[in-house]
Amino acid sequence: MTQYTDLALEQFARPTAVEVDLGNLTHNFNAIRAKIGTAKLMATIKANAYGHGLIPVAHHLERLGADYFCVALIEEGIELRKAGITTPILIFGGLTMAQIPLYLEYDLAITAPSLEKLAHINNVAQEMGTIAKVHLNIDTGMARIGIRWQNAHKLFALAQTCSHVRIEGVYSHFANSDVSDLSSAYEQLENFKRALAFFQDNNLKTPMRHIANSGGVLQMPDAYLDAVRPGIALFGIYPADECVQSIPLKPVMALRSHVVYFKVIAAGTPVSYGHTWTAPQQTRIVTLPVGYGDGYPRALSNKGEVLIRGKRYQIAGRVCMDQVMIDIGWDEAYNGDTVTLIGEDGENQITIEELSEWANTNPYEILTTFNTRIPRLYIHAD
């Protein structure tokens, strides 16, 4: 565990930070790279790199040799370009027609999910005197965006007539690749292959094919194809409990704070909003400067746990917007003591998975909820 130093406290305006272990990110990247063989690695870093910090994570992965970056929004792609990222970038999300000139200006690959949008992309690129980079999106069973796989041949045929479009890739997305029963995922994979037969049937070069997300990388080697798109696995989290842990991953994120207040309360004293928790006996309460305004879930009220001096203690009362109270019984803790909300402390550990179970959600939501009000502290960069 990295203890915060006085310098760290001076660096940040508040004694709470998300700790991002770039050494563990390197480990995960290399472990995934070794697993996928010759397939390209398209690092999915949407939603502020799953809460880890978009720009620092992108720079680190670019140095490691990521073949592609994938994000959800054009704003994320533009932010990466303005930060000096030169690696190819694919934007997943559905686009509006008005956004197309920005894609071309910032050299961002566009997801084309329909005949109408592909034609419009081509027209705008022609007007601007450039070539649009495009990935065709095929719906094989997610029912989100993308042309239905049964009609994909129409999109592929139109692409052959678009003089100002370069089809870099064709992709789909698994709905159920992180479960023990992979029958649905394999059906999607077969649907994808059926759609892609268009290229071989018409003696055309098949564009780069990609469908495997983190679950697919961990459980479905047949789905690696030409490229894979790991997201949460890069950050050391398995996408579901039942997902096979075929790659040894290390968690990249920790969340630590400090005790900022200490008090002794008598038996029968209620704590926090709504008085949902009452001290069963005389006890010691410490207060931490973190709350749901930072993304620490309010659902952890009265049941979440933290680590102080390597020992677990439970949240007392409701999580507040900016603070949370901890019942430490008759143990010792003082102002300035480090508190681990996620991560290791001595022989003990609180995982993202544990926290998400307490909050009745999944690790994805926990990771992406921690907002920029909490500073990020990057360690083990070399």
**Which residues constitute the domain of residue 78?**
37-235
Q: Are residues 128 and 221 in the same domain?
A: yes
Closest CA to 319 of 342, 288, 340, 298: 298
pLDDT in tens, 274-298: 999 999 999 999 999 999 999 999 9
Annotated catalytic residue, options 82, 261, 263, 273: 273
pLDDT in tens, 126-166: 999 999 999 999 999 999 999 999 999 999 999 999 999 99
Tell me the CA end-to-end span of the chain in Å, nearest whole number.
Answer: 17
Q: Residue 227, by phi and psi: left (phi above 0), alpha (psi -120 to 50) or beta? A: beta
pLDDT in tens, 347-379: 999 999 999 999 999 999 999 999 999 999 999
In-domain check, residue 282: yes
Annotated catalytic residue, options 35, 46, 117, 133: 46
Q: Measured between alpha carbons, how far is 335 from 338 in angstroms, rounded to an integer? A: 9
Q: Is-catalytic flag, 238?
A: no
Q: Are residues 292 and 371 in the same domain?
A: yes
**pLDDT for the residue numbered 381:** 80
Helices and strands: H and E segment counts in the chain = 12, 21
Q: Are residues 357 and 227 in the same domain?
A: no
Q: Are residues 71 and 199 in the same domain?
A: yes
Total number of domains constituting the chain: 2
Last residue of a domain, one of 174, 207, 235: 235
Q: Are residues 57 and 135 in the same domain?
A: yes
Name the residue with higher pLDDT: 8 or 237: 237
Q: Is-catalytic flag, 263?
A: no
Q: What is the mean pLDDT of residues 87-111?
A: 95
Q: Report pTM.
A: 0.94
In-domain check, residue 1: no
**pLDDT for the residue numbered 11:** 55
Q: What is the mean pLDDT of residues 183-212?
A: 98
In-domain check, residue 71: yes
Q: Are residues 57 and 152 in the same domain?
A: yes
In-domain check, residue 15: no
**pLDDT for the residue numbered 13:** 67
**Which string of DSSP letters, residue by residue, matches 172-188?**
---SSSSSS--HHHHHH
Mean pLDDT, all residues of the chain: 95
In-domain check, residue 245: no
In-domain check, residue 26: no
196, pLDDT greater than 70: yes
Tell how far CA 204 is from the center of its chain.
35
Q: Are residues 186 and 305 in the same domain?
A: no
